[in-house]
Amino acid sequence: MLNRAVVLAAGMGTRLKPITDNAPKCLTEVNGVPILLNTLKNLYAAGIRACTIVVGHFAHSIMDTVGSTFDGLTIEYIKNERYKQTNDMYSLWLARDVLEKGSAIIEGDIFFRADLLPNAITYIGKKSFYIAGRYDGRSDEILIETDEQKRILSLDILKNRSAQPGPDRYMSSGILVIRENYGRRLSGWLTRSVEDGDVRILFDDVISSHIDEHPLFVYEISHSDWVEIDTPEDLRRAEQIFNPARS
């Protein structure tokens, strides 16, 4: 049974300035609900009972807000002291002991619906998978290509560029579920990257380099199920999608 999660919340959120001038990105509010608190509530709803939060920028603000327990979850923290010089693969590497036991992995700027994670876990069973929506031509996304069984064939990080949509093309929601066998492999791949000094890349880059070594799948969701909040425009879109009046 999956009962652990890692939330990556060390980043500086520079594209969300001035909101992040005096607060961590993960505590940005969507219609009055901080992103991180929404994530933690949704993790509990999915049956997860222990969450490790990797913190860096404004770490104490996060720790003071959440505490050691939240909404039935036991919370532990790992500090990424190098958050200004590293990317999320390094933060994930710091939590590698959790990965090796099987874990949900959630980027700290994702606002998503409460039923998304439990539905995905129930539907896809014992597989490891990205939760992803259909790719719609946007730039700066993690482009995922699959076969007809939705096994991932390739990951492409679209840095400052876009690609053509297609029937087997998806974009990552920033949420993954990995089982123990995949977690052990991912831990080793991350360790090798750190040893090689590749600490400024995304963890998706690491996964991409080893995509043929272990099966990884896609669980498809709607574009209205999640928003990755990088910019003020993303925040406005999230507040429209998750407006309680609309629900």
Q: CA 7, CA 110: separation in Å to the nearest integer?
A: 10
Helix (H, G, I), strand (E, B) or coil at 177: strand
Instruction: Tell me, yes or no, if the pTM score tops 0.75.
Output: yes
Where do runs of H (alpha helix) occur along the chain?
Answer: 35-45, 59-66, 88-94, 96-99, 116-124, 180-195, 203-209, 232-241
- Tokens describing residue 30: 């969507």
221 contact partners, CB below 8 Å, separation of at least 6: 116, 120, 131, 132, 133, 173
Q: What value does the mean pLDDT take over residues 200-212?
A: 97
Give the C-alpha separation, 125 to 212, whole Å.
21
Please check the confidence at residue 246 and state whether its pLDDT lies above 80: no
Amino acid at the residue 216: L
Tell me the domain boundaries of the chain: 4-241
Q: Give residues with Cβ within 8 angstroms of 64, minimum separation 6.
A: none
Query: Cα separation of 62 and 154, whole Å?
Result: 35
- Mean pLDDT computed over 153-158: 97
Cα dihedral across residues 113, 118, 122, 128: positive or negative = positive
Provide mean pLDDT across the span 166-187. 98
How confident is the model at residue 245, as a pLDDT?
A: 75
Taking a C-beta distance cutoff of 8 angstroms, is the pair 185, 102 a contact?
A: no
Q: Flag whether pLDDT at 1 surpasses 80.
A: no
Read off the pLDDT of each residue in 118-147 and give the average, rounded to a whole number: 96
User: Using the 8-state DSSP alphabet, how is residue 217 labeled?
Assistant: E
The residues, any chain, with a CB within 8 Å of residue 25's CB and separated by 6 or more, are: 9, 11, 12, 13, 16, 19, 35, 57, 108, 109, 229
- Residue 240, SS3 per DSSP: helix
- pLDDT score of 247: 53
Spell out the CATH class of 4-241.
alpha beta
Cβ contact 189:206 at 8 Å: yes
Q: How confident is the model at residue 244 (pLDDT cuts 50, 70, 90)?
A: confident
